[in-house]
Chains A and B, each alone.
Chain A
Amino acid sequence: MAINLLRDTGVPLEQQRFTWHDLVQAPYSKLMDDAFTRVRVILMNGIESEALRFGHACARMNAPLQRALADVRRVEQHQQTMVNWLNPADQSPLETTIGFEQVAIEVTASVAEKEPDPYLAQVYRFGLLEDFDHLYRYSALMDRLQGKDANTLVQSYSDIVPGRPTALEHRDPLDDLRKPYDRGRAAPLTKLHALTIMAGEHQTHDYYMTIGPMFADPVARQLYAEIASIEEQHVTQYESIIDPSETWLEKWLLHEAGEVYNYWSCVESEGNPRIRAIWERFLDYELGHVRFVARLFEETERRDAAEVLPERLPEPIRYESHRDFVRETLRREVTLSAAGTEFVDREQESEATRVYREQMNSEGSPSETVAAGYVWRSGTELTDPVKRVTAASPSAKRRAA
């Protein structure tokens, strides 16, 4: 399906309507749907969440835009609801967490592979290896807390092995800031990538901050606290790659274009026809938002929307396994860290990062504790007799003797 961002009208804003019943559609199936349906739902919830977050920030700084922002935001609110409510009730918060990390791996990998700016591609690969490690830590938690295999959710698309160890991801805030793209020279795809990953990471942070205290297990609570802190670092990283000199309306227009790009990517890859119909509906809604904001942009800034938007969308996000790319990145870049806006080997980290990390880990590391000796195994590590608690018990030793 070819999209023309400058011409397609989509559904006009005033015709975008919902009912409460309509907002709450039947969810996808945890057992029957492809893992990438869950990945798309989780990412698109993040995209809509960012639409609201941006809309509110913009309203606080721009009184003349408040009415227009409120109108669009009301629809975005209901779009986010319909998307987020596609997550099924039989999918536990920890299971959804596994989905969040699969988003961070596979979507970031797709973005990293296609990003035309080499520095930003490095930024994405850097973040990717950290989220990749989170999948491993949470999988260990799921196995050791509930006796469940995370691969029943990942469906063998993403490896469950350590990445850059979470315990080493803690850095001084200064070392999480990156250099932004240049709004005048950056490719449209670069801008869409940055918005997409920033939105996904921000929602991941907010989700962990919401569900972390719902766990009873002390290591689970600590692990969510630790990984939420990394997600805050990631939001810091990804929002800093966006050119801060873009005007508020330019940013708004790009947000709407980013939503079109993402819904279109979902339409292009979704295998569940009922869910695809929702992506198609919201793609049309977002095209309506682009028209609405483009008109506002042109009237207010006296600039052509074509200065900001491409006519044609770039290639869609690839919702597929990026196993080879991730493994290759892991082999090459697992020892990387950051010093200021540059990527350096761990030995060259700043003193501030070393001091901060030592302080945070000084009373133990939840991410190391939860995965102590953990090797993912199909059907849980309980299928390996050597890994069982009783293997180390006095009675087991007596029996063995």
Chain B
Amino acid sequence: MRQSPQQGNNRTGIVASGRLGEEMVAATEEFPPSSPGTAQAIAEVRIADAQNGESLGETPPPGSLVDKAKAAVTAVTGGQPTLLMDKLGERLAFEHAGARLYEALLSKHRAYGTFSGGPGAEDLLRILTEEYEHADLLERAIKELGGDPTTVTPSANLAANISAGLPQVLTDPRTNLLQSLEAIIIAELADNECWTALAELVQQAGHQELVEECREAIAHERDHLRQVRLWIASGQGRTTRDDSGAEISEGADGDEFTFAEDGPVDREGYVVSEEDRAETREAAGSPQAGKSGKGRPEAT
């Protein structure tokens, strides 16, 4: 099964329209806009409406929704309890959604087969199993902290909207396995980012046992991301460099998960100039400064 697009009669570009395209441009010269201004006009309305005080919703107070007589409730007292419950709910919803994504990916595998260097069914089943396990862990944690794991928290709702396009790609019969992996990697990137943030919040709240469980989940998620990257690279016929700090490298200590060390962005996702990068290396006395992933909690 083909994993890359073939040449064909794509009509979307203006060049494909020939003389009709030129007429489109000519029309805009004859008929000017009815109102002056720029796209900033839309921004003004967005800003005004954003200031009306509405929000996406709130998180129920921990401990209010479960029968304390039946559950061993540990009140969330440290850190930011409301934010923690919000983010636990977000991860749980995302793991449920992610499980359905991997189920859809398995269908792609059955429908299209794999490609050289691509995933086997057992690989996908293993990741799917881990997504289920993460959901179990989160459900248990929310209950133990006195929350209701069936609540759609504001962050769960937000995450579902952010990733709403993913099932659309994965369940479309016309997308192949490789295209589906390009959707999955978005979920895996979000998973890596958000599990790390969750671990920090759990740490702040002082739930050491849960921190350990989060770290195990982070290790899984990093492995998922690494694998998906490698599968996509193979599917696209890219060389998977492993020692030069290139984008799909796992890193010598197995700790790399999102951004390349010499890439144009740092671990927080901010753009880094060549000058900044040189300064950082100099300060660390090493051309590989930043490799150990400082600025985020130890997770392995």
Contact = CB atoms under 8 A, between A and B. Distances in A.
Interface residues of B, number: 39
Interface string B243-266: 000000000000000000000000
A151 B150 contact: yes
Interface string B143-158: 0000001111010011
Interface in A15-57: 26-27, 29-32
Given A90-B161, A217-B167, A390-B128, A380 B96 contact: yes
B128 A30 contact: no
Contacts of B189: none
A218 interface: yes
B97 A147 contact: yes
Contact of B57 (A30, A148, A393): A30
Contacts of A146: 97, 100, 160, 167
B171 A152 contact: no
Contact of B132 (A31, A218, A385): A385
A148 B96 contact: yes
Nearest to B106: A389
Given A382-B135, A389-B103, A31 B56 contact: yes
Contacts of A380: 96
B57 A216 contact: no
Interface in B5-57: 49, 52, 54-57
B125 A30 contact: no
B178 interface: no
Contacts of A29: 54-57
B110 to A, nearest CB: 12
Nearest to B58: A32
B132 A388 contact: yes
Nearest to B92: A379
Query: Mostly helix, strand, loop or mixed at chain B's interface?
Result: helix
A29 B56 CA distance: 7
Among the interface residues B106, B126, B135, which one has the most CB atoms of the partner chain A within 10 A? B135
A211 interface: no
Contacts of B106: 389
Contacts of A30: 57, 152, 157
A157 B129 CA distance: 33
Interface string A199-241: 0000000000000000111101000000000000000000000
B150 A149 contact: yes
Interface string B209-246: 00000000000000000000000000000000000000
A192 B13 CA distance: 54
A139 to B, nearest CB: 14
Given A382-B132, A390-B128, A26 B54 contact: yes
Contacts of B168: 215-216
B171 A378 contact: no
A359 interface: no
Interface in A65-84: none
Contacts of B98: 147
Contacts of A382: 96, 99-100, 132, 135
Given A31-B152, A146-B97, A90 B171 contact: no
A148 B160 contact: yes
B96 A216 contact: no
Contacts of A388: 99, 132
A186 interface: no
A216 B171 contact: yes
Given A31-B57, A146-B160, A378 B132 contact: no
Interface in A329-379: 378-379
B276 interface: no
B139 interface: yes
Contacts of B128: 389-390
Given A146-B167, A216-B167, A388-B132, A393 B150 contact: no
Interface string B58-99: 100000000000000000000000000000000001001111
A145 interface: yes
A151 B152 CA distance: 10
A220 B96 contact: no
A383 interface: yes
A383 B97 CA distance: 12
Interface string A229-263: 00000000000000000000000000000000000
B51 to A, nearest CB: 11
B275 interface: no
A163 B49 CA distance: 43
A144 interface: yes
B278 interface: no
B172 interface: yes
A395 interface: yes
Contact of B149 (A148, A218, A379, A396): A379
Contacts of B177: none
Contacts of B149: 379
A383 B139 contact: yes
Interface string A130-152: 00000000000000111111011
Contacts of A144: 100
A92 interface: yes
Given A149-B150, A217-B167, A382-B135, A395 B122 contact: yes
B171 A31 contact: no
Contacts of B49: 26
A92 B167 CA distance: 13
Contact of A390 (B57, B132, B150, B157): B132
A90 B56 contact: yes
Interface of A: 26-27, 29-32, 90, 92, 144-149, 151-152, 215-218, 220, 378-380, 382-383, 385, 388-390, 393, 395-396
Interface of B: 49, 52, 54-58, 93, 96-100, 103, 106, 122, 125-126, 128-129, 132, 135, 139, 149-152, 154, 157-158, 160-161, 164, 167-169, 171-173
Given A144-B100, A146-B97, 6 more contacts: A32-B58, A148-B160, A152-B151, A218-B173, A379-B150, A388-B132
10 residue pairs, one from A and one from B, having the closest CB atoms = A31-B57, A147-B96, A217-B171, A216-B172, A147-B100, A147-B97, A379-B150, A216-B168, A26-B54, A152-B152
17 contacts: A29-B54, A30-B57, A31-B157, A90-B158, A92-B164, A145-B100, A148-B93, A148-B96, A148-B97, A148-B160, A216-B172, A379-B150, A382-B132, A389-B103, A390-B128, A395-B126, A396-B125
